[in-house]
Structure 1
């Protein structure tokens, strides 16, 4: 059926007839969308003749006086409007008209990240990393200005066809986050993207925005929400007590996502380190260690497994069950060390993606097993995590050398263990190919470096300490387990040692519940 030309003209004309005019200046032409806080209009600034986006905010019933609400919106959004970053949607004006407040913003003709994933499904790793890098830039600019976004989510990120990204709604979540609103039943921010500390009722921090960015990048890479459950209460419970696994993301992008999703704000990967990971992941021409060719076998997703060290988990698909946080061991205690769940695939590319390339506190890496620096070894630590013998080439590490850190002086303290291959007795795990010394060292040194700089190590003790990595030789890697029910031991170990000689007294690590 062919459309009548006259009808087409009338329709086009009607599209430009203002539905209403706000503050005598901004003509509202058509509705672009709506959400919990109000509507978004395509508008025109009649004074200078440019098209703008106009967000109409309405006060939730029973929240507070409309005049107070308008003043708070005006103050906070104008603060956000001073931000100067290419990835920040520019705020032109904030006006009150009737019982509503209107925010006049730059009009960006682009789909949101949420729309993009709904239409295309999970995005390629390098594309997700580039989007994340730009959003991170906007957040860093805000945090330097003392502004916390509070509602970072795919629906607030617009992605243009040329790859340019814009983050919107700066200041709005800050302006409406008031106890009088919260107690009236309104949960400020999107529950699925709300950081654990905010769920627990604490003040939003810059690190809270980073957690939300991690959840957003998970959604973009996996095509699913990391903590979404059937009810809001179940979603909030998952945020507080579970850690999702990754089925599609890999390499430095996976490291960035899992580091940003650490439950403890102080252990969350900082913005600078996240930028390094995202920059590495954003290069499509650079080989990205991924699910097809992990060094330890055919595993494709890496999960933070809090019943033991980070491991390569078997392929699970986009709907993989999250790994509960309930089972804890000494070496992976709560969210603090979840931040250093440096995914194995991210390091076997030959260089560490997280943490400094070199670290003055790092001692020479040693090998254990036949043909290595420590040929005779026992890693059956039981409940004791310190050793009463120096770790050096030519030394032995017997079961009798493992002591309780609090009972006697010691030469080294074990503070992290990371599995370099799947902990499974299936044929793939048993046949895992030895990845070689260079790749094992790169993984171990990056892992130990990252953990050393988290709150796993006591802040007061750290300046007087150094650390070293211990990695298996090929013989140790291929050594048959003690019995048919055990898994091959293919771990790298991280030890604290005295910085200026002497011995250590007591424990230099923190057990974080």
Structure 2
């Protein structure tokens, strides 16, 4: 099944409301944009996903409803760790998912700019992802589209996951990033939580090796066939994560590690080297002085500046009063008691 090729104009707002400003990250059949909500004047994130050709006419409506419903459900289970979906639009042959602004950078973009991560940093991100998957799987919700573009890494706080609600809404076994599909997805079989654990293993592999365990092969069908049939090359930079990665990337879903075993292993890596994985995340590079994020951040900074300026003014006035009444240390006036007079001679 092939995906439709949508032609998008960045001059016309999506849905008449969301002005596309800059591409954040690209994956197969998925593009994430920084955008400007022209009604509210606030920044947002918009993802464009192409629909497979030949889908029934009601597919878009079904997907839009599923995305909104699933994202809301998982968001309640993992507050602050799942992107808040505020709107979904069917336009120009694509699904457009509109999310509240995330102050972070897609994992895929970080890897493209920084190369590999050390295994401790990878373990920390993996553990944060596992928290979200645990919450969703406990309610019977499978992500099914997990990839580096669906994970936003923040400078402070845990990662944020996007993309809930896409899987199972169309006839395609996988809509985006097929190199992160599980073998059962590649065979177009029914999937469950084990598919997300495979994707977690693939993400850990990518973070330490700098490439996915199975590469893109141009056509969707060829990539999925490679995932299903080709042997896995063992990671060489994973360190103590090696056995975890291999245990997650088992072709037979029944043989994959359980979530608890994975959690214990990742926790052990972090406890042995707690500070080795810390790394600053670059701030999003926003182009154009008119971009809403800059204006929005500017308004927030202005408010902080007023408060800070007022506080400094009060402190300065207090110091001035103190100097006027008591003098500075080392000057002619002192509040210290004078030394006691020596006793009179007898």
Measure, in 2, the Cα distance between the counterparts of 1:287 and 1:100: 43
Partner of 1:112: 106
Q: Kindly indicate whether the alpha-carbon contact (under 8 Å) linking 1:28 and 1:41 is maintained by their aligned counterparts in 2.
A: no
- Report the Cα offset of residue 37 of structure 1: 3.8
SS at match of 1:174: coil
Q: Kindly indicate whether the alpha-carbon contact (under 8 Å) linking 2:183 and 2:251 is maintained by their aligned counterparts in 1.
A: yes
Partner of 1:126: 120
Q: Kindly indicate whether the alpha-carbon contact (under 8 Å) linking 1:94 and 1:103 is maintained by their aligned counterparts in 2.
A: yes
Matched, 1:223 2:210: yes
Partner of 2:55: 63
| TM-score, length-scaled by structure 1 | 0.46
Measure, in 1, the Cα distance between the counterparts of 2:62 and 2:81: 24
SS at match of 1:62: coil
Gaps of 5+ in 1: 1-17, 289-513
Partner of 2:258: 270
Structure 2 CA distance for partners of 1:97 and 1:243, relative to 1, 3 Å: closer
Measure, in 1, the Cα distance between the counterparts of 2:223 and 2:21: 37
Matched, 1:280 2:268: yes
* Selected match of 1:76 from 44, 66, 83: 66
Partner of 1:191: 178
- Report the Cα offset of residue 214 of structure 1: 0.2
SS at match of 2:32: strand
Q: Kindly indicate whether the alpha-carbon contact (under 8 Å) linking 2:29 and 2:175 is maintained by their aligned counterparts in 1.
A: no
* Selected match of 2:239 from 237, 242, 250: 250
Measure, in 2, the Cα distance between the counterparts of 1:117 and 1:124: 12
Could you list the per-position Cα deviations for residues 223-257 of structure 1 after superposition, in whole angstroms to 9, with x for gaps in the alignment?
Answer: 22222276663773454352331211122x22321
Matched, 1:44 2:32: no
- Report which structure shows greater RCO (CA 8 Å, sep ≥6): 2
| TM-score, length-scaled by structure 2 | 0.66
Farther-moved stretch of structure 1 (258-267 vs 234-243): 234-243
Could you list the per-position Cα deviations for residues 255-275 of structure 1 after superposition, in whole angstroms to 9, with x for gaps in the alignment?
Answer: 321211122212211112211
- Report the Cα offset of residue 110 of structure 1: 2.9
Measure, in 2, the Cα distance between the counterparts of 1:98 and 1:246: 41
Which runs of structure 2 are paired with 1:487-498 in the superposition (5 Å)? none
Could you list the per-position Cα deviations for residues 182-235 of structure 1 after superposition, in whole angstroms to 9, with x for gaps in the alignment?
Answer: 6xxxx5343321111222221121101110110110110122222227666377
Matched, 1:240 2:232: no
Q: How many residues align?
A: 260
Partner of 1:213: 200
Structure 2 CA distance for partners of 1:30 and 1:229, relative to 1, 3 Å: closer
Measure, in 1, the Cα distance between the counterparts of 2:193 and 2:60: 25
Matched, 1:154 2:148: yes
Partner of 1:261: 249
Structure 2 CA distance for partners of 1:162 and 1:39, relative to 1, 3 Å: same
Q: Kindly indicate whether the alpha-carbon contact (under 8 Å) linking 1:227 and 1:235 is maintained by their aligned counterparts in 2.
A: no
Q: Kindly indicate whether the alpha-carbon contact (under 8 Å) linking 1:76 and 1:174 is maintained by their aligned counterparts in 2.
A: no
Measure, in 2, the Cα distance between the counterparts of 1:72 and 1:223: 36
Which runs of structure 2 are paired with 1:89-104 in the superposition (5 Å)? 89-96=83-90, 100-104=94-98
- Report the Cα offset of residue 99 of structure 1: 5.7
Q: CA RMSD in A?
A: 2.9
